[in-house]
Structure 1
Amino acid sequence: MVMIFTLVTAVQEKLNEIVDQIKTRREEEKKQKEKEAEEAEKQLFHGTPVTIENFLSWKAKFDAELLEIKKKRMKEEEQAGKNKLSGKQLFETDHNLDTSDIQFLEDAGNNVEVDESLFQEMDDLELEDDEDDPDYNPADPESDLTD
């Protein structure tokens, strides 16, 4: 009996050691994974150090990308608008527009018709006299304004 007790105790101790080794190994692996995750996260925030050469090469690429985007937009706008030109562009391309207003005025002539009957009864209109206003000052142009 004493011999069996000694063997069982020895096996229990050995099993406890093995379990402790497994636990410590798992804890170490867990700590290692956490450490690697932290380092990977730090690498994300670390980035590339900025130097004049790096910045200039980046800026050249960035400007080229912006230029391409602008060209694409211009093409899309031209296709969408089907060559809708601004007023300035119209005058720059079609020189007939420079004289079109003048020709219109010449064609219409200087014959302006005025209906004089509209102005015959001017005496019936009640117009305010500025002289009757106590705040009227002929030297002050803003005195004509009413609140």
Structure 2
Amino acid sequence: MRVVVQRSKSAKVTVNGEVVGEISKGLVLLVGVTHDDKEEDAAYMADKIANLRIFEDAEEKMNLSLVDVGGEILSVSQFTLYGDCRKGRRPSFVEAARPEYAITIYETFNRLLREKGITVATGEFGAMMDVSLTNDGPVTLIVESK
């Protein structure tokens, strides 16, 4: 799995002009799944992201996690994270998992985050989505399970 983590003050995702997911302070996650990702990858990523110390404490040091600050997550499926741009001018997406497989890993990931007591809003898997957010920092990280 590959996840782009963006700390945000607020975020929302719309499909066909309708808001389908929205959060206040927390993290926006762009979530990519590849062919050999398993439930163990989803569990690793959920634990890692929930506990990343990327929120500032009283001394303005990144010492607090999403759980510590009571933040929320907006999780958006993003197969293009496995786009390979090394050859030619059009990305190759052969490393992205097929949708029927990717959705099971993606949904497992979101379920595991919710089991940690985190509010998780999502986009709509496979849909064309508009994602808007107010970056906080900005703080942007790439986390991978492999």
TM-score where L is the length of structure 1: 0.18
Q: Which has the higher contact order (CA 8 A, sep 6+)?
A: 2
TM-score where L is the length of structure 2: 0.19
Counting helix residues as a fraction of each chain, which structure ranks higher? Answer: 1
